[in-house]
Chain A
Amino acid sequence: QQQVKQSPQSLIVQKGGISIINCAYENTAFDYFPWYQQFPGKGPALLIAIRPDVSEKKEGRFTISFNKSAKQFSLHIMDSQPGDSATYFCAARGSNDYKLSFGAGTTVTVRA
């Protein structure tokens, strides 16, 4: 049973456009929400993360928005570049066991 639901499954965006990936969770015992980027043949790489006491965090072209009451969070990729083409995973960490529960992933394709 997927504890973190991620959408869309895939998206195509033009170079310079904005990519938006959404995640939702049910378990209120999550205390840390990272996003990972994975290229084919590689392991996931930590991209950006947020704690539930913060509503937004920005690092370069990547922004996480967090809505604690709705139990939703999203990743925005601004000015998308072809090099951003990858699979993105949202995750949530249990506050008691520190286990990461991952979303199903979103494959982003940036067209030049």
Chain B
Amino acid sequence: KAGVTQTPRYLIKTRGQQVTLSCSPISGHRSVSWYQQTPGQGLQFLFEYFSETQRNKGNFPGRFSGRQFSNSRSEMNVSTLELGDSALYLCASINTGRTEAFFGQGTRLTVV
């Protein structure tokens, strides 16, 4: 059974640019959550998608957005990048009962 696949693994972007990250959840899982991990703030919830609908949203500015496709794959987008957006972005695939969250390896974003 394949795990959670996040692409790309590493990204370097310049301030002001935008970026799109991709996540393919575990087969059969219809819910995907995104988290930002930084040394200073730890793991923080960004948003959750279920059946192409955003179900929850964390306390992040509107520059952070996401979407989910009919095959459950999800993308998150960050526009007008700031230096502080440098982080590990993690996608979690959530099982049907929402009792377990399985994380991918993450996308390491560096903003210069």
Contact = CB atoms under 8 A, between A and B. Distances in A.
A45 to B, nearest CB: 7
Q: Of residues A97, A99, A101, which shows the largest number of chain B Cβ atoms within 10 Å of its Cβ?
A: A99
B103 A99 contact: no
Interface residues of A, number: 22
Interface residues of B, number: 23
B58 interface: yes
A46 B101 contact: yes
Contacts of B99: 32, 49
Interface string A75-103: 00000000000000101000001111111
Interface of A: 2, 32, 34, 36, 41-46, 49, 89, 91, 97-105
Interface of B: 4, 6, 33, 35, 42-45, 48, 56, 58, 90, 92, 94, 98-106
